[in-house]
Amino acid sequence: MSDAAHHGNPTAGHRRPGAPDAAARDHQGRWRVAITGMGVKTPAGCDLKTLYETVLSAAPVTAPITNFDASVLPVRFACEVRDFEPLAYLDAKTARRMDRVSQLGFAAAMDAVADAGTPSGEPSRRAVVFGTGTGGAPTMGDQAIVCERDGAGRVTPLMVPMLMPNATPAFVAMELGWTGPNYAVGSACASGTTAVGEAARLIRYGECDTVLAGGGENSVNVYAMACFCRSGALSTRNDDPARASRPFDADRDGYVMGEGAAFLVLERLDLALARGARIYGEVVGYGLNSDAHHLTAPRPDGGGAAACMRTAIKDAGLTPEDIGHVNAHGTGTGLNDAMEARALSTVFPAGSPPVTSAKGVFGHLMGAAGAAEAVLAMLSAANGVVPPTANHERTDEEFDLDVVVRAPRPIGRKPVLSNSFGFGGHNACLVLSPFDGR
């Protein structure tokens, strides 16, 4: 294990100004994409060090809900971002004009840019891509109540600007003065991963030099909780919430709702090296497809997910044997975990590499999950260690998986496959690789 891995160093990376041996293009002739900054606002920590150490310790943060009165719900616990102060990033007037998803996203984006230093490119060649499942939907719910109770004249004129999914990247671009592409993607729980993959494409094909890519969700609210309680998707362990999220465990009974945001700064590798940036690693592979099967249930045989993984690995110019570990979607639901296990067995017929799911620690961040987990996957790969999966006590006997449990597992610096699968059959996968200076 490297010293960085041993000490849980979340800033492990390489800083080599103008490294002459760094090839500017990948195996397909595309610009290489470096990750130079990351920022997070999650239930397990609002900075990289806290998040990484919490996940490495496999310490669940699930607890009774404090955002609202959950006594009316059959499930009364979740993973909330508890130590976040929006006024540390925003003036009071601007904060009032944002749904919580934009507050979280804006703060994570500012932290990512600060972490990156001075990203490369002219303003017109800097972009923001944001993924979210529902955007500011809670604002819509609140204002619907206002309209019904107090009349249409009391609905805030800011309702649409607050609920629209593209509000978050708009606020970020306005703050930074970045005039390049700016948009939101909505692919349910695959949104954050999709945003990072699409951002990498903007750089790979020469449209941008720098892209802020991430995801966010304001999902611990009475409307979302009521919906997913009714659907039967959530764990019901009210008497033991800390042990409720159980990815790939034989006794899993549903996922735990989470909220949060995460952003990564992606830069053209040669430009990042030229300015002496610290390089966490690279986005080397991306896969995106659809099950075309069911609006909420995954394709049972995992065929769509397996094809997406294979696409990402091939896009990276790698083989399955090159993958050091898998950052699984691993929600802890019966159907999703079974599907992903079957897909992994298909992609890795000789046996899966080590598998981990951070959702045992901080629940399911919905549209933000893929971005937050990409941050963790990159830190883990750079440090050469696989975090343990919290609450995993007994692997489902149907699964042929090497689930990492109890303690971090040192494996050396190797590429990681990070998976996200969303309602509607949306599948997105990334391959992230440590940067070796070449």
- 353-376 pLDDT, tens digit per residue, is 999 999 999 999 999 999 999 999
Strand ranges in 9-138 using DSSP code E only, listed in sequence order: 14-15, 33-41, 63-64, 77-78, 126-131
Does pLDDT of 93 surpass 90? yes
Does pLDDT of 11 surpass 70? no
Residues in the chain: 438
- Return d(Cα 207, Cα 119) in angstroms, integer: 15
Per-residue pLDDT, 23 = 87
- Return d(Cα 86, Cα 99) in angstroms, integer: 11
Burial of 369: CB neighbours in 10 Å, binned 0-12, 13-18, 19+:
buried
Per-residue pLDDT, 4 = 40
Which neighbouring-strand residues pair with 210?
A: 126, 267
The bridge status of strand 409-410 relative to strand 14-15 is unpaired
pTM: 0.94
Across 91-98, average pLDDT = 96
- Return d(Cα 66, Cα 144) in angstroms, integer: 22
CA atoms within 13 A on the CB side of 197: 28
Q: Where are the alpha helices (DSSP H) in 48-190?
A: 48-56, 92-96, 100-116, 137-150, 159-163, 167-176
Residues with active-site annotation: 189, 329, 364
Q: What are the C-alpha distances in Å from 116 to residues 11, 21, 120, 300, 392?
A: 11, 22, 10, 41, 35
Residue 1 pLDDT grade (very low, low, confident, very high; cuts 50, 70, 90):
very low
Across 248-255, average pLDDT = 96
Per-residue pLDDT, 296 = 80
Q: Which residue has the tokens 């230093």?
A: 117
Per-residue pLDDT, 8 = 55
Per-residue pLDDT, 6 = 40
pLDDT in tens, 185-244: 999 999 999 999 999 999 999 999 999 999 999 999 999 999 999 999 999 999 999 999
- Domain annotation for the chain: domains and CATH numbers: 3-422 (3.40.47.10)
Per-residue b/e over 97-135, b at no fewer than 16 CB within 10 Å?
ebbbbbbbbbbbbbbbbebbeebbbeeebbbbbbbbbbb
CB 369 within 8 A of CB 376: no
Which neighbouring-strand residues pair with 264?
A: 38, 213
Per-residue pLDDT, 21 = 47
Which neighbouring-strand residues pair with 183?
A: 129
